[in-house]
């Protein structure tokens, strides 16, 4: 049980959120402060902790593009499936990517049809598979953001040092700051502040976000993932929103030094060059991906297995995931949401991923929660009387 004092402090924090957001709304003349949580794990924390449903109407959370499942294009899934179907090849992936549909099915479907697709918790485990079976080729599906890319680089370094030749990576990494720039560059974004991803920041630190405040005048807080982290981060952000000059600050100080992780940043530089990447439903963003430096071609699956299909199937008709990921509309504003598009019949990426904005909105449905609150209040009254 949570001690009464803790609940009291939650109430006090919520009161502060109510007060400060209302004040900002009065000043801006808008109905809500719009806060984008960039990271899918934050989306989940807000929903699973129940905090999302406790926030006042004057705070509106927008779920950003920080979920690799959401931003991997169907074309890239098709290419991963193509790799998995090459003779003598095992494709190793994080479980996250198994069910993401491409134009001709997911990796899970490919496995059902005979392709050798395996899940791994760590890229180091994928390398271990390669060590144990030198006759087979192992390709690791390199998805993720700045948090994950250094791990894969370290794994490639280990493979290079040991002279392991049957291991390569299909790089689909994406970078957060360029995506924020793409969002902010559009005039119609309506974002008042960012909750910035804690574990990406554990690697890159604070500096790469400075442009968000300096060039675009939007504040941001780097936050942790526990409910109490979010409860601390929101008032911090609202306080920044009031300031004349926008700034970026860190709530998650226990895990994010301002300088990030220098060793991880070094290894990223050593192995990768920034490259244009295509974000699902958003499009191409310059320098928002990572390509292997040419000296590591031997570990680049794209070089090692020529002939990868270049075709990119069109996005599903009517799907507004792009606008949702960019913070321009809410899931419920999409005509497909909850009708043609549900977790069982997901049309767009935000519903496919369990972390996606639409899946979270559907699963932890706010309308249902408020209905529950009402019936709960009635029964409490009944018990008391």
Partner 1 sequence: MCLAIPGRIIERTGTMGRADFGGLVRAVALDLLPDAEVGDVVLIHAGFAIQTVDLSMEPEIAERLIAR
Partner 2 sequence: MNEANGRILLAHGAGGRLTHELIESLFVRRFDNKPLAALDDSAELKLPDDCRIAFTTDGYVVKPIEFPGGDIGRIAVCGTVNDLAMLGARPLGLSVALILEEGLERETLNRIVDSMADAAKEAGVELVTGDTKVVERGAASGLYIVTSGVGMIPYGLSLSGRNARVGDAVLVSGTLGDHGITVMNAREGLGFEGDLRSDAAPLNGLVENMLSVHSSVRVLRDLTRGGLATALNEISRASGVLIEIEETAVPVRNSVLAGCQMLGLDPLYVANEGKLVAMVDETYASGVLRAMRDHPRGREAVRIGTVLKGEAGVVMRTPIGGARRLLMLDGDPLPRIC
Name which of partner 1, partner 2, none residue 243 binds, using a CB cut-off of 5 to 8 Å depending on partner kind: none
> Closest distance between partner 2 and the C-beta of residue 378, in Å?
8
Around 298, how many Cα atoms within 13 Å sit in the side-chain half-sphere?
10
Closest CA to 147 of 96, 194, 201: 201
Name which of partner 2, partner 1, none residue 99 binds, using a CB cut-off of 5 to 8 Å depending on partner kind: partner 2
**The one segment of 7-15, 159-167, 186-194, 262-270 that binds partner 2 by CB under 8 A:** 7-15
The 10 Å Cβ neighbour count of residue 305 is 16
- 24 vs 38, beta carbon nearer partner 1: 38
Name which of partner 1, partner 2, none residue 337 binds, using a CB cut-off of 5 to 8 Å depending on partner kind: none
- DSSP structure string for 309-378: ----PPPPTT--HHHHHTTSS-GGGSTTBTTTB-STT--SHHHHSTTSHHHHHHHT-HHHHHHHHHHHHH
- 128 vs 312, beta carbon nearer partner 2: 128
Task: Please name the residue that has the structure tokens 């370094």.
Answer: 157
**The one segment of 5-13, 235-243, 253-261, 279-287 that binds partner 2 by CB under 8 A:** 5-13
Name which of partner 1, partner 2, none residue 193 binds, using a CB cut-off of 5 to 8 Å depending on partner kind: none
Q: Identify the residue among 75, 102, 144, 331 touching partner 2 (CB under 8 A).
A: 144
- 50 vs 309, beta carbon nearer partner 2: 50
Q: Identify the residue among 20, 288, 355, 358 touching partner 2 (CB under 8 A).
A: 355
How distant, in Å, are the alpha carbons of 2, 166, 288, 373, 385 from that of 380? 20, 64, 52, 10, 9
Phi/psi at 371 (5° precision): -60, -40
> Closest distance between partner 1 and the C-beta of residue 199, in Å?
4
- Give yes or no for residue 377 binding partner 2 (CB under 8 A): no
> Closest distance between partner 2 and the C-beta of residue 28, in Å?
27
Q: Copy the structure tokens of residue 248.
A: 């970026």
- Give yes or no for residue 136 binding partner 2 (CB under 8 A): no
Return d(Cα 233, Cα 367) in angstroms, integer: 25
Q: Identify the residue among 18, 30, 34, 49 touching partner 2 (CB under 8 A).
A: 49
> Closest distance between partner 2 and the C-beta of residue 382, in Å?
9
Task: Please name the residue that has the structure tokens 């720039």.
Answer: 181
- Per residue, the 3-state secondary structure of 211-239, as one string, reads HHHHCCCCCEEEECCCHHHHHHHHHHHHH
Name which of partner 2, partner 1, none residue 50 binds, using a CB cut-off of 5 to 8 Å depending on partner kind: partner 2
- Give yes or no for residue 95 binding partner 2 (CB under 8 A): yes
Q: Identify the residue among 65, 68, 102, 205 touching partner 2 (CB under 8 A).
A: 68
Return d(Cα 142, Cα 151) in angstroms, integer: 10
Return d(Cα 225, Cα 368) in angstroms, integer: 24
Enumerate residues 102-121 that contact partner 2 by CB under 8 A: 119-121
Closest CA to 50 of 193, 224, 233, 231: 231
- 195 vs 213, beta carbon nearer partner 2: 195
Around 159, how many Cα atoms within 13 Å sit in the side-chain half-sphere?
32
- Give yes or no for residue 37 binding partner 2 (CB under 8 A): no
Task: Please name the residue that has the structure tokens 């706010």.
Answer: 366
Name which of partner 1, partner 2, none residue 22 binds, using a CB cut-off of 5 to 8 Å depending on partner kind: none
> Closest distance between partner 1 and the C-beta of residue 107, in Å?
18
> Across-strand partners of 215?
none
Q: Copy the structure tokens of residue 279.
A: 């974000």
Residues making contact with partner 2 (CB under 8 A): 1-2, 6-7, 10-11, 40-41, 47-54, 67-69, 94-96, 98-99, 119-121, 125, 144, 148, 227-228, 231, 343-344, 355, 363-365, 368-369, 371-373, 375-376, 379
């Amino acid at each position: 049980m949570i001690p009464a004092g803790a609940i009291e402090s939650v109430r006090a924090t919520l009161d502060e959120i109510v007060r400060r957001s209302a004040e900002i709304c009065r000043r801006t003349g808008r109905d809500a402060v719009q806060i984008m949580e960039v990271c899918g794990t934050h989306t989940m924390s807000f929903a699973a902790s129940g905090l999302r449903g406790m926030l006042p109407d004057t705070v509106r959370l927008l779920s950003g593009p920080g979920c690799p499942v959401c931003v991997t294009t169907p074309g890239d899934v098709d290419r991963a499936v193509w790799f998995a179907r090459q003779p003598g090849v095992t494709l190793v992936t994080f479980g996250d990517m198994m069910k993401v549909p491409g134009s001709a099915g997911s990796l899970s479907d490919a496995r059902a049809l005979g392709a050798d697709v395996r899940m791994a918790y760590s890229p180091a485990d994928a390398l271990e598979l390669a060590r144990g079976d030198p006759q087979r080729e192992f390709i690791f599906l390199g998805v993720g953001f700045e948090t994950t890319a250094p791990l894969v680089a370290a794994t490639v370094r280990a493979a290079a040092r040991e002279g392991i030749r049957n291991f390569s990576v299909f790089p689909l990494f994406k970078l957060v700051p360029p995506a924020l720039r793409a969002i902010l560059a559009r005039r119609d974004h309506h974002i008042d502040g960012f909750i910035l991803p804690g574990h990406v920041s554990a690697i890159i630190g604070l500096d790469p976000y400075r442009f968000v405040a300096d060039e675009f005048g939007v504040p941001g807080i780097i936050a942790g993932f526990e409910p109490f982290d979010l409860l601390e981060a929101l008032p911090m952000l609202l306080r920044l929103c009031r300031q004349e000059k926008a700034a970026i600050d860190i709530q998650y100080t226990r895990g994010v030094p301002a300088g990030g992780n220098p060793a991880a940043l070094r290894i990223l530089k050593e192995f990768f060059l920034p490259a244009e990447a295509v974000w699902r439903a958003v499009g191409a963003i310059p320098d928002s991906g990572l390509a292997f430096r040419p000296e590591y071609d031997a570990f680049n699956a794209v070089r090692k297995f020529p002939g990868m299909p270049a075709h990119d199937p069109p996005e599903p008709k009517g799907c507004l995931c792009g606008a949702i990921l960019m913070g321009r509309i809410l899931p419920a504003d999409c005509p497909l949401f909850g009708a043609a598009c549900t977790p069982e019949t997901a049309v767009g990426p935000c519903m496919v991923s369990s972390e996606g904005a639409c899946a979270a909105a559907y699963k932890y449905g706010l309308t249902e929660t408020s209905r529950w609150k009402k019936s709960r209040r009635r029964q409490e009254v009944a018990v008391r009387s």
